[in-house]
């Protein structure tokens, strides 16, 4: 039955779609590639929704080749991974719709690279062992290297080179950390490793902590956590709107890896390695918020502003996760969904704005009036107040949940001023950008560049998703609370993967 293979299908669908797209030749191959890509994205979204429903009462485990854990490769779907798979699918479909109306023609094999990127992201969320997490990281990174260069240009080449060098370094550290952890535990299955780490003492526990800290560095690089964020602003600001919008989920892969590994393997039950990197996460997250807020205020290009908004969201999410209790995890996950959808919408929207402004492009200066000025202005206003967190939209709801999660005096004294201060600087920066681009325009004839309705529809779809988080805030928070409860009780995950609780010969 299809249900028996549900966990692997969100990986197989984009993989086979990409292979088919590479095989398409003849007249007008792009038409067929687009049809395959859109069909695959719709199917992946349907499977993701099905997966969310299927994991409500159980953790789904898929043993490839029938080889059971810890010796075989397993894919695991719980509430957290199902949420991340669904979020990826919800983001990918509008972004691909946008790309299919012209932007995918800027370079070769964009459609196949897009599907390979989705394959890597889905695999990272569903894998049950650390080595295959590395494998899927490499798949999504190799695809991202090519996607960042989509369309060509010196600025893209420079940003991509920086991105590649840092991520190759991260990949080397990842392999070293895996070697350290395998050497001390004899396993790379996450559920199995969680049980073995908890039993380590003395020097063995210290070695495991060292391997865990290397993992933290690697995942922090993927998430763009301070001080490992340097690749993000230029990479996101210099690539195309489609790629930047898809990359809105990329930093969340790092966030997911931190949440998964440091709640299950190095969580409260990890013995001498318990709560590894917990204090580091709090302080680095706070400084990421501060740096992102200063970057938003100091940027003179709206693309850079949005890139720094991504950095603020990462800092906010990881700082909240470091609070540790279930309400904080639930609040962070709600905010993660919100920030992914709204920053994705903003990257697409700014791409439209830059093309219609002509020479001034995305720079925050006075320019010509746009051909579709009022429509773009209205969408920018909605996106801006959503990402800022103006009541009653999802940004406000998410920040309210986060502020309520700060319980001690020290947490309130540090987290509240930073989040509220960053919000104020976001208001200043986006108000300045909006007024320069939409109110204080140059006199004369408007620019005559227009865009197809389907590209506008793609932006509207993502904004609608963010707005739906407001309408169904209680439903969403209940689901993220259920995820937090499941994460705080990793035994359910462990016993689903290892029915004998990790006891094997």
Delimit the domains of the chain by residue range. 277-490
| CB 73 within 8 Å of CB 132 | yes
* Of 266, 265, 257, 263, residue with least CA distance to 125: 257
Residues 245, 348: contact at Cβ < 8 Å?
Answer: yes
CA dist., res. 366 & res. 349, Å (int): 18
Confidence (pLDDT) at 439: 84
3-class DSSP assignment, residue 361: coil
| CA triple 421-422-423, angle to 5 deg | 90
Give tens-digit pLDDT for 291-323. 999 999 999 999 999 999 999 999 999 999 999
pLDDT at 27: 66
CA–CA distance, 337 with 195 (Å, rounded to integer): 31
- Which two structure tokens, joined as six digits, stand for 54? 């299927």
Judge if the upstream peptide bond of residue 70 is cis by omega within 30 degrees of 0.
yes
Residues 6+ apart with CB under 8 A from 378: none
Count of alpha carbons within 13 Å of 46, Cβ hemisphere only?
A: 7
Q: Is the peptide bond before 410 cis (omega within 30 degrees of 0)?
A: no
pLDDT score of 79: 95
- How high is the pLDDT of residue 127? 94
**Predicted pLDDT at 1:** 62
What DSSP character marks residue 269?
T
Closest CA to 95 of 122, 119, 120, 114: 114
Residue pair 232/159 in contact (Cβ under 8 Å)? The answer is no
Both tokens of 396, joined, read: 């406000």
Which residue stretches of the chain have pLDDT < 50? Answer: 502-505
Residue the block writes with tokens 């094997």? 504
Which two three-digit tokens encode residue 454? 């389907």
Contact criterion met (CB below 8 Å) for 219 and 254: yes
Name the token pair of 309: 């908004």
Q: Which of 149, 277, 258, 165 is nearest to 210 (CA)?
A: 277
């Amino acid at each position: 039955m299809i249900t028996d293979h549900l966990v692997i299908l969100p990986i197989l669908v984009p993989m086979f779609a990409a292979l088919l797209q590479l095989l398409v030749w003849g007249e007008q191959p792009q038409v067929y590639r687009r049809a395959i890509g859109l069909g695959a994205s719709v199917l992946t979204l349907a499977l993701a929704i099905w997966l969310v429903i299927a994991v409500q009462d159980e953790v789904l485990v898929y043993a490839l080749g029938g080889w059971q854990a810890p010796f075989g490769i397993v894919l695991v779907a719980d509430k957290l991974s199902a949420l991340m798979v669904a979020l990826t699918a919800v983001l990918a479909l509008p972004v691909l719709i946008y790309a299919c109306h012209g932007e995918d023609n800027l370079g070769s094999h964009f459609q196949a690279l897009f599907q390979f990127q989705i394959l890597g992201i889905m695999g990272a969320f569903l894998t049950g062992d650390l080595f295959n997490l590395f494998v899927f990281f490499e798949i999504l990174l190799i695809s991202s290297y090519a996607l960042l260069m989509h369309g060509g240009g010196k600025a893209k080449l420079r940003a991509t080179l920086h991105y590649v060098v840092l991520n190759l370094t991260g990949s080397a550290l990842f392999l070293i950390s895996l070697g350290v952890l395998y050497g001390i535990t004899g396993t790379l299955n996450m559920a199995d490793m969680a049980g073995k780490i908890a039993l380590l003492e003395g020097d063995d526990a210290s070695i495991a902590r060292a391997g865990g800290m290397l993992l933290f560095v690697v995942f922090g690089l993927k998430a763009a956590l301070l001080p490992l964020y340097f690749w993000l602003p230029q990479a996101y600001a210099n690539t195309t709107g489609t790629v930047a919008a898809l990359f809105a989920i990329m930093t969340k892969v790092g966030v997911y890896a931190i949440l998964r590994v440091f709640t299950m393997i190095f969580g409260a039950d990890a013995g001498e390695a318990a709560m590894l990197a917990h204090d580091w996460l709090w302080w680095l997250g706070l400084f990421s918020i501060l740096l992102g807020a200063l970057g938003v205020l100091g940027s003179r290009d709206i693309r850079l502003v949005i890139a720094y908004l991504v950095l603020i969201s990462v800092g906010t999410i990881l700082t909240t996760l470091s609070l540790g209790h279930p309400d904080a995890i639930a609040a962070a996950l709600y905010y993660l969904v919100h920030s992914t959808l709204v920053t994705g919408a903003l990257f697409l929207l700014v791409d439209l704005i830059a093309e219609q402004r002509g020479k001034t492009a995305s720079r925050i200066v006075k320019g010509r009036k746009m051909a579709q000025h009022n429509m773009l202005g209205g969408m920018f206003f909605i996106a801006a107040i959503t990402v800022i967190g103006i009541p009653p939209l999802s940004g406000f709801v998410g920040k309210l949940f986060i502020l309520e999660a700060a319980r001690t005096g020290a947490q309130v004294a540090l987290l509240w001023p930073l989040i509220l201060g960053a919000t104020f600087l976001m208001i200043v920066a986006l108000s300045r950008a909006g007024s320069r681009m939409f109110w204080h325009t140059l006199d004369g004839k408007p620019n005559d560049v227009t865009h197809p309705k389907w590209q506008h529809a793609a932006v509207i779809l993502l904004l609608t998703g963010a707005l739906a988080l407001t309408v169904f805030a209680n439903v969403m928070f209940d689901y993220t609370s259920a995820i937090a409860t499941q994460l705080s009780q990793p035994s359910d995950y462990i016993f689903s993967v290892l029915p004998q609780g990790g006891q094997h010969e």
